[in-house]
A and B are shown apart, each in its own frame.
Chain A
Amino acid sequence: MGWLNAVIQGLLLGGLYALFATGLSLMFGVMRIVNLAHGDLAVVASFLALALVSGTGLPLWIVLVVTVPLFAVLGYLTQRVLLQRSLSSGPLATLLVTFGLSIVLQNVLLEVFSADTRTIDGGSFGTGSFELNGSISIGYLSLATFLLACAVLAAIQLFLSRTGLGRMLRASSDDRETANLVGADSRHVYGIATAIAFATVALAGLMFAMRSSFDPATGPSRLIFAFEAVVIGGLGSLWGTLLGGMVLGVTQSLGAQIDPALTLLAGHLVFLAVLAFRPQGLIAGRTA
Chain B
Amino acid sequence: MTLLSISDLTVHHGQLRAVDGLSLDLEKGEVLAIIGANGAGKSTLLRALAGLNPPTSGSVHLGGRDITRLPAYKRVSEGIALVPEGRRLFHSLTVEENLLTGAYRKRPGPWTLTRVYELFPWMSDRRRQNASQLSGGEQQSVAIGRALLANPDLLLIDELSLGLAPVIVRRIYEVLPGIVGAGTTALIVEQDVSQAMRVADRVHCLLEGRSVLEGRPRDLTAEQVEHAYFGIGQALPAGSAREGHD
Known A-B contacts A164-B100, A168-B101; A181 and B84 likewise in contact (beta carbons under 8 Å): yes
Q: Is the CB of B73 within 8 A of A185?
A: yes
Residue B52 contacts which of A175, A181, A287 (CB distance < 8 angstroms)? A181
Say yes or no for A114: interface residue by CB 8 A criterion: no
Which of A167, A178, A287 has the largest number of chain B CB atoms within 10 A? A178
Residues of A within 8 A of B51 (CB): 180
Asked whether A174 lies within 8 Å of B104 as measured between CB atoms, the reply is no
Q: Do the beta carbons of B150 and A182 come within 8 Å of each other? A: yes
Interchain nearest-CB distance for B76 vs A (Å): 4
Do A182 and B102 touch (CB < 8 A)? yes
Residue from A170, A178, A181, A184 having most chain B Cβ neighbours under 10 A: A181
- Find chain B residues with CB under 8 A from A182 CB: 76, 81, 101-102, 104-105, 146, 150
B205: interface (CB < 8 Å) = no
Report chain A residues within 8 Å CB of B92.
Answer: 170, 173-174, 286-287
For B87, give the chain A residue with the smallest CB separation.
A178
Tell me if B77 is interfacial: C-beta within 8 Å of chain A. Answer: yes
Interface residues of A in 165-213 (CB under 8 A from B): 167-168, 170-171, 173-175, 177-186
Q: How far is the CA of A182 from the CA of B93 in the complex (A)?
A: 14
**Cα–Cα distance between A185 and B90 once the two chains are bound (Å):** 16
Within 8 A of B (CB), among A93-152: none
> Are the CB atoms of A183 and B105 closer together than 8 Å?
yes
Assuming the A-B contacts A167-B100, A177-B52, are A184 and B90 also in contact, with contact meaning beta carbons closer than 8 angstroms in the complex? no
The residues of A that contact B225 with a CB separation of less than 8 Å are none
Q: Is B97 an interface residue (CB 8 A)?
A: yes
Q: Which of B45-95 contact A (CB under 8 A)?
A: 50-52, 71-73, 76-77, 81-82, 84, 88, 90-93
Q: How far is the CB of A29 from chain B (nearest CB, A)?
A: 10
Residue from B73, B88, B93 with most neighbouring chain A CB atoms (10 Å): B73
When chains A and B are docked, how far (Å) is the Cα of A127 from the Cα of B203? 78
A238 to B239, CA, bound (A): 58
Report how far A170 CA is from B88 CA in the complex, Å: 14
Known: A164-B100, A179-B101. A170 touches B84 (CB 8 A): no
Identify the A interface with B (CB < 8 A). 161, 164, 167-168, 170-171, 173-175, 177-186, 286-287
In the A-B complex, list the 6 residue pairs whose CB atoms are closest, starting with the nearest.
A183-B76, A183-B105, A287-B92, A286-B92, A174-B90, A180-B72
Identify 11 residue pairs between A and B in the complex whose beta-carbon atoms are under 8 Å apart, listed by A's number: A170-B93, A174-B90, A179-B101, A180-B51, A181-B76, A181-B84, A182-B102, A183-B73, A183-B105, A186-B73, A286-B92
